Amino acid sequence: MTGLTRVLVVTAVPAERDAVTRSVARGGVPLPGVRPEVLRVCPARTRVVVDAVAAGAGPAAAAAGTATSLALGPGRGEPYDLVVSAGIAGGFAPYAAVGATVVASAVLAADLGVRTTGGFSDMAELGFGVVAHGPPAALAESAAAALGAVYGPVLTVSTVTGTADRATELAARHEGAVAEAMEGFGVATAASLHGVPVLEIRSVSNAVGPRDRAAWRVPEALRALTDACAALWPVLDTWKDREGPWPTQETVRDATRGGSPGRP
């Protein structure tokens, strides 16, 4: 396994996991998984080995599943080099339309904190922990460019947004947020505790706002996720040779204040 890049991809549900592994259907090599719930694939013409697991919906399940996989490792006593939180998401207008792919510049816990008559305070402001994790910037920017993706903060919520008022509130509180999902912060928290860098990649199935299931485009978003992963593996094949230090909590918070999302 020397010289390979070992990647753990964590999704919420099997449909997302299968969309990830379908990205290597043409030319990829299927490999035995280390555990029954793990699908292992090796993208063609790369030194990347991908273990994909569906850990469950929500930040708690995502954190638990990620931590378990990281503790067990890919086998032969070797650690994972990178964790990727992947799946479908809601997109914030006007940045990420339905059908778009997004790569997170920061992974933010959007509703972890306390709400009073004076407004919302997050856990970092209360002194009880962190609310932001950051991917290696050069890697995330390279991935966004290769995927043709929108690049900006991705929010993790425990309750999916279903009203215009909440969408407006979240967008105002997290300036430049491009998407909302339920697992990224849980995945990133577990990865951080194990000292492993993280990426979050999402394809947009619906707009963040009033809940309208008829307008959701889940099959299309899953196909977009497959295409995004196919473009991601060549980037991961070389990133360890040129990546700098991982960002700190302070640099992540600074990077998510102000600015506009877009393409790097």
**20-35 pLDDT per residue, tens:** 999 986 555 667 667 7
Specify the fold of 5-255: Rossmann fold (3.40.50)
Contact 113, 131 (CB under 8 A): yes
| pLDDT confidence of residue 27 | 54
Predicted confidence (pLDDT) per residue in 34-75, tens digit? 777 888 888 888 889 999 999 999 999 999 999 999 999 887
Domain ranges of the chain: 5-255
- Distance CA(88)–CA(224), nearest Å, equals 9
- Distance CA(228)–CA(225), nearest Å, equals 5
Residue 223 neighbours by CB distance under 10 Å: 15
Predicted confidence (pLDDT) per residue in 230-249, tens digit? 999 999 998 876 555 444 44
Per DSSP, helices labelled H in the chain are 14-21, 59-72, 123-126, 137-147, 164-173, 184-193, 218-238, 249-255
CA distances (Å), origin 23, targets 29, 54, 131, 194, 234:
11, 16, 31, 27, 12
pTM: 0.88
| pLDDT confidence of residue 247 | 46
CA dihedral over 160, 108, 52, 261, signed as positive or negative = positive
Question: Is pLDDT larger for residue 27 or for residue 139?
Answer: 139
